[in-house]
């Protein structure tokens, strides 16, 4: 596809920086969004990649209206600007507490926190808007990692921080056998570019973005092997009702030609550890 002028919200964030790199590498002109998505001017563009959002689950319980204001109202405002292509960053959290270990995009959405609920509402807004002719795509991210992440609430990042001595310990809830699906941030960024380029007018498709299922214990072992250092763990009781296993069915995304290139667990850990050492 010929180069497009693409507005990227959240372009300075962890994922946003990699999306900008991938868009530029694919020959597109990137327009970083400046200001608050609820009020700043929205420049004319051929497409939007909307990454900016409030994302803290615990915080969302205390400030649900703020989350709806930013995550939903901001999305509505960007949609009203009328770009013909629109890609929304969403979350696997829209599935809530699923009844099976492997999740496909047609699994019912039952969000269990205000953050995930705002993302489900934003998905709906894009889905209905697409029926007016917009080419839409929703990317439901599982656990992005690597690439120099600085968010110590994420498992791989915190484990590497503990191994480096920068963070005192890692809390593990339960026996560490709970499985989650991990994907390197650059592989996730490639998915956004592909979704933008292949979106069809009048349709909105949802895609899971995951790559490597691994347990908490698997991650801890990989970090200790990759760094040569121990990871201090504090054990806590398991959260009641926690889903034991969440794996992303990515057949739909792979059908577009996407393949993870850097999402092996050892690769993710090595990449994050290298960034940890540089800092």
3-state secondary structure (DSSP) of residue 184: strand
Q: Measure Cα distances from 23 to 63, 117, 158, 190, 274 in Å.
A: 34, 29, 29, 8, 24
Below-70 pLDDT ranges, the chain: 1
Residues marked as catalytic = 115
Residue 236 sits in which domain range? Answer: 5-278
**pLDDT reported for residue 238:** 87
* pLDDT (tens digit per residue) in 235-276: 999 887 777 889 999 999 999 999 999 999 999 999 999 999
Number of structural domains (the chain) is 1
pLDDT at 14: 97
Q: What does the pLDDT read at residue 242?
A: 75
pTM: 0.96
Gap between the terminal Cα atoms of the chain: 38
CATH assignment of the domain containing 26: 3.40.50.720
């Amino acid at each position: 596809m010929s180069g497009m002028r693409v507005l990227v919200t959240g372009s300075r964030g962890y994922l946003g920086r990699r999306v900008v790199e991938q868009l530029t590498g694919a020959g597109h002109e990137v327009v970083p969004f400046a200001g608050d998505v609820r009020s700043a001017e929205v420049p004319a563009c051929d497409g939007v990649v909307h990454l900016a959002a409030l994302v803290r689950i615990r915080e969302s319980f205390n400030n649900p209206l703020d989350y709806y204001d930013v995550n939903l109202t901001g999305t509505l405002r960007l949609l009203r600007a009328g770009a013909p292509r629109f890609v929304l960053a969403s979350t696997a959290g829209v599935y809530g507490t699923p009844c099976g270990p492997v999740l496909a995009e047609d699994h019912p959405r039952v969000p269990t926190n205000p953050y995930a609920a705002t993302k489900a509402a934003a998905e709906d807004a894009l889905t209905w808007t697409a029926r007016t002719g917009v080419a839409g795509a929703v990317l439901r991210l599982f656990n992005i990692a690597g690439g120099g992440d600085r968010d110590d609430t994420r498992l791989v990042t915190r484990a590497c921080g503990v191994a480096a001595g920068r963070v005192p310990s890692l809390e593990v809830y339960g026996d560490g056998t709970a499985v989650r699906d991990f994907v390197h941030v650059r592989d996730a960024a490639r998915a956004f570019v592909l979704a933008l380029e292949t979106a069809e007018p009048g349709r909105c498709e949802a895609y899971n973005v995951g790559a490597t299922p691994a347990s908490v214990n698997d991650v801890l072992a990989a970090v200790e092997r990759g760094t040569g250092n121990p990871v201090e763990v504090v054990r806590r009781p398991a959260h009641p009702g926690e889903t034991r296993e969440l794996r992303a069915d990515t057949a739909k995304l792979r059908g577009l030609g996407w393949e993870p290139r850097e999402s092996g667990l050892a690769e993710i850990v090595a990449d994050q550890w290298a960034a940890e050492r540089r800092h």
